[in-house]
Structure 1
Amino acid sequence: MLRRRDFLASGLAAAALPALPARAQTGPQPGAVQPLPPGGVPQLPAGFLWGASTSSYQIEGAVKADGRRPSIWDTFSHTPGKIADGTNGDVACDHYNRYADDVELMARLGLQSYRFSIAWPRIVPEGTGQVNAAGLDFYDRLVDKLLSRNILPMACLYHWDLPQALQDRGGWHNRDIANWFADYARAVVGRLGDRVKPWAMLNEPSVHAIFGHGFGNHAPGLTGWPSYVMAQHHQNLAQGVGAAAVRALRSDLKVGTVFSLQPIFPASQQEADIAAAQRFDACWNTINLDPLFHGRYPAPFENVFAQLVKPGDMEAIRVPVDFLGVNYYGPSYIKHDPAAFLAQAGYGALPPGTPTTLLGWPISAQGMVEVLKRLRDSYGNPPVFITENGACYEDPAPANGTVQDPERTEYFRAHLTAAGEAIAQGCALNGYFAWSLLDNFEWAEGERRRFGVVHVDFETQQRTPKSSALYLSQLIRAHRAGVKP
């Protein structure tokens, strides 16, 4: 077993994670990987990190256990008509009680790292004030179990499950939330920072602002342009203030954040659609990137955000990051829509013949290369991990101990091949985390839409690895053994 002090001494390098020591094998020995996975082994560097991601509300369940109080997603999912299939996250994958078995499953698959999020309402149930030791105890157990299996924990402090008590005080519309978040971050890192070194502040702030505070089809269900703008700025501010707070607490951490990034194309070559695509790109991509890396909001909206920016805000937001997490799923095609709240930019038709997932999301592995090249060329080529990448399909029921999901397997193969292409073109990509480890509560879609590489029977909580999980496992072992395409 990797000794804890050796693990802690290794740290997280600014540009990449160190190679992890070989774990006690729970599956085929790496040197015995035969044959190669279908399509060969993508050309990735020796130190490339392999992992999977989840988020707290989507998998943990146990929403009333050990002092946890409601989050905005508890409230939203229990509101009639908000979730497509009427489900909620009360139980989800019951990871809170089954985490040890889930970590053993990760080890059997050969995963080197696990990206998970912390539930703010478990740690500070009222959002501010008293810290709940029992909530921290759960993550203590999870982290220790991961380390015992030589799996690097990568924690995200906020993945959309704001304490409802804070929403009642204005939530992301209240600029005080930046300091509330910093206090919460100190509580978590103060307990776990001796063992967890990579920390992401926020997950996908632009998505949370757009869908939770603009369209209203995610929690907390708010709508409109002013709502979106406030939520976006205050998340950016909290990201910077939180990063500074945890760095002041411990100097040995590697601090980053996670953005959803995608290429934005006009739905036609009409001038109005081209301009709408540029506005949408600003709202989705550069609204996060420009403040973090350049200390300013994108030009189309500088005047809008100037109404909220106070002296010192942009300096606080422009805090250096040790890594950037990129969640990539596919491009968007945008048209001018005078009725759209988001800068009169709405979703347009896809080009004929565009492949899509079950959710209708367009598939383009090359789009991931373009995202990484943009970071290389316009934002200083920061160290990047693909922290989410995956696809939703209509999976069949388990049969003969597995679930056959060849479309998802091909999706991973194409995107990992693209990852190799981006690295060959000088992009600082250091690892890849599949979304998601488990089928889970998929936000407004509920339990009816599945992204996991492991099938979950929500009635029995039985876990069944899909063929995509077996593909990734074989690929990881082949890569670590130095098998060439």
Structure 2
Amino acid sequence: MAKIQFPSDFLWGTATASYQIEGAYQEDGRGLSIWDTFSHTPGKVANNDNGDVACDSYHRYEEDVALLKKLGVKAYRFSIAWPRIFPQGTGEVNEKGLDYYRRVVDALLEAGIQPAVTLYHWDLPQALQDKGGWANRETIDAFVKYAEVIFQAFDGKIKQWITFNETWCVSFLSNYIGAHAPGNKDLQLAVTVAHNCMVAHGEAVKRFRALGTEGTIGTTHNLYWFEPYTTKPEDVAAAHRNRAYNNEWFMDPTFKGTYPEFMVDWFREKGVEVPIREGDMETIAQPIDFIGVNFYSGGFGRCKKDEGLFDCEEVQVGFAKTFMDWNVYPDGLYKVLSWVKDEYGDVPIYITENGACYEDELTAEGRVHDELRADYYKKHFIQCHRLIESGVPLKGYFAWSLLDNFEWAEGYKKRFGIVYTNYETQERHPKDSFYFIQKVIADGGFDA
């Protein structure tokens, strides 16, 4: 039987996000975020769920750190809630907010776990949204000030920094499709938000360098592998547009300082322009130390006039599906990260999220037998190994997610965790997938 063996310095981790796990939404001076507003608006979230309590990690972080230690991970990716630090987005620093994250970071370091921090995982202070949110360039300045406070408060303790999580979701999913906060449906707004977020990323990287902050900094894009159903030129072009919507639109500015021209032309035909100011593209393309990639799925498409934004129809080819109805496509991970290396060079890559949602049942003994999730991880770990063996500079992997949590617009009915959360009692129960990953980390690999 073939042995899948990972390098000894491969960074194994798991990940969460502040609004999804913390709760305590009105405690210790925290201001409201756009997700507080969105989730309290009837009909926006399944079952009208919200993140008021979530997993109560604000009070139970020590329990969660103990789970991380039991899992054996070397790193934990979590995000800092901007409204805990600046309740109004700008102004006076809320020291109680900083103190909470100091406690979390110190607990992690004491447990021998490296903190990997995301500065922006979608919880924009509502006070800034009231002034236009990411469509307002003043939000860029507010973000850089917030980032500076965090850099200085944790310099030397946090060594891995991620500016933004999934700028596609912040922009298109939230401001064109309207499924996430703030829930707008305006293509020009979405393109503007995407651009301004990338400028804010670049400005934060510049500030990080200027401060001489210790550690490495990058950003995370959610990449999707979409390929043509046939070799017909129209199918190839349609699938490429659909893929570039997630991939090139964000990766090209990050690494090349340009937007893909064919996509600029496509948006222009829709009456949409990118609001580029002098110096923006140089700022966006600030050199970064690594790229974070969140990968969940992929698919096949063909040209169909007036289908969606890009005249592209997805073709079902028999993939297994998760409970989110997403295709299980492990080979897509190999293809998309190989494409990253081929297109953008040998930048170090971290898979900052990868995981699956399934219907989980807690047994009377307090166990969850999630064979499908464990199998999902195993198949994606094999692709990670293929990538490393193929010379792709994949340096680490963060499983999504440590805990079942508030799954954004899906509320609490969709579970991604390797630990089951009983939302009535807040008890945590490691699932079989937890023990599978625990053994992979302990053994440095597994039998394929």
Q: Give TM-score scaled by structure 2 length.
A: 0.95
Supply the AA of the counterpart residue of 1:363: V
Q: 1:431 aligns with which of 378, 382, 396?
A: 396
- 2:304 touches 2:311 (CA, 8 Å); kept in 1? yes
- 1:185 touches 1:242 (CA, 8 Å); kept in 2? yes
Distance 1:307 1:388 in 2: 28
Post-superposition CA distance 1:303-346 (Å, at most 9, x none):
6586511110011011111111111111133455655663x345
For residues 21-100 of structure 1, the aligned pairs below 5 Å read 42-100=4-62
- 1:334 touches 1:345 (CA, 8 Å); kept in 2? no
Distance 1:398 1:191, change over 3 A: farther
Distance 1:122 1:210 in 2: 26
Q: 1:221 aligns with which of 159, 169, 183?
A: 183
Supply the AA of the counterpart residue of 1:370: K
Distance 2:428 2:308 in 1: 41
Q: 1:173 aligns with which of 112, 122, 135?
A: 135
For residues 106-117 of structure 1, the aligned pairs below 5 Å read 106-117=68-79
Distance 1:337 1:249 in 2: 51
Distance 1:159 1:41, change over 3 A: farther
Q: 2:100 aligns with which of 114, 138, 160?
A: 138
Structure 1: runs of 5 or more not aligned: 1-38
Post-superposition CA distance 1:94-129 (Å, at most 9, x none):
000000111011101111110000101111111111
Distance 1:338 1:178 in 2: 37
Distance 2:37 2:2 in 1: 46
How much does 1:40 deviate? 7.3
How much does 1:224 deviate? 2.2
Question: Which residue of structure 2 lines up, in the alignment, with residue 34 of structure 1?
Answer: none
Supply the AA of the counterpart residue of 1:408: R
2:297 pairs with 1:330 = yes
Question: Which residue of structure 2 lines up, in the alignment, with residue 474 of structure 1?
Answer: 439
Distance 1:329 1:307, change over 3 A: closer
Q: 1:163 aligns with which of 103, 125, 128?
A: 125
For residues 77-476 of structure 1, the aligned pairs below 5 Å read 77-266=39-228, 271-302=233-264, 304=268, 307-336=274-303, 342=309, 344-345=310-311, 348-351=314-317, 353-476=318-441
Distance 1:345 1:138, change over 3 A: farther
Distance 1:263 1:112 in 2: 28
- 2:192 touches 2:274 (CA, 8 Å); kept in 1? no
Post-superposition CA distance 1:41-86 (Å, at most 9, x none):
5321111111100000000000001111111111111111111222
Supply the AA of the counterpart residue of 1:108: K
Bigger mean CA deviation after superposition, 432-441 or 295-304: 295-304
Distance 1:400 1:157 in 2: 38
Distance 1:478 1:398 in 2: 28
Distance 2:84 2:311 in 1: 37
Structure 2: runs of 5 or more not aligned: none
CA RMSD in angstroms comes to: 1.8
Distance 2:193 2:300 in 1: 24
SS in 2 for 1:325: strand
How much does 1:393 deviate? 0.5
SS in 1 for 2:5: coil
Supply the AA of the counterpart residue of 1:395: D
- 1:52 touches 1:433 (CA, 8 Å); kept in 2? yes
- 2:290 touches 2:350 (CA, 8 Å); kept in 1? yes
How much does 1:279 deviate? 1.6
Bigger mean CA deviation after superposition, 133-142 or 296-305: 296-305
Distance 1:40 1:478 in 2: 14
- 1:218 touches 1:443 (CA, 8 Å); kept in 2? yes
How much does 1:301 deviate? 3.2
SS in 1 for 2:224: coil
SS in 1 for 2:425: coil
SS in 2 for 1:409: helix
- 1:120 touches 1:161 (CA, 8 Å); kept in 2? yes
Distance 2:311 2:5 in 1: 38
Percent sequence identity is: 44
Post-superposition CA distance 1:1-29 (Å, at most 9, x none):
xxxxxxxxxxxxxxxxxxxxxxxxxxxxx
- 2:22 touches 2:56 (CA, 8 Å); kept in 1? yes
- 1:103 touches 1:145 (CA, 8 Å); kept in 2? yes
Post-superposition CA distance 1:162-199 (Å, at most 9, x none):
11111111111112222111111001111112200110
- 1:331 touches 1:362 (CA, 8 Å); kept in 2? yes
Distance 1:178 1:267 in 2: 40
Corresponding residue pairs, total: 443
Distance 1:365 1:46, change over 3 A: same
Question: Which residue of structure 2 lines up, in the alignment, with residue 27 of structure 1?
Answer: none
SS in 1 for 2:117: strand
Post-superposition CA distance 1:267-313 (Å, at most 9, x none):
56665443322222222101111011111001123465865111100
Supply the AA of the counterpart residue of 1:419: C
Question: Which residue of structure 2 lines up, in the alignment, with residue 29 of structure 1?
Answer: none
- 2:84 touches 2:97 (CA, 8 Å); kept in 1? yes
How much does 1:375 deviate? 1.3
Supply the AA of the counterpart residue of 2:194: Q
Supply the AA of the counterpart residue of 1:456: T
Distance 1:445 1:285 in 2: 24
- 2:5 touches 2:446 (CA, 8 Å); kept in 1? no
- 2:348 touches 2:395 (CA, 8 Å); kept in 1? yes
Supply the AA of the counterpart residue of 2:151: V
Supply the AA of the counterpart residue of 1:328: F
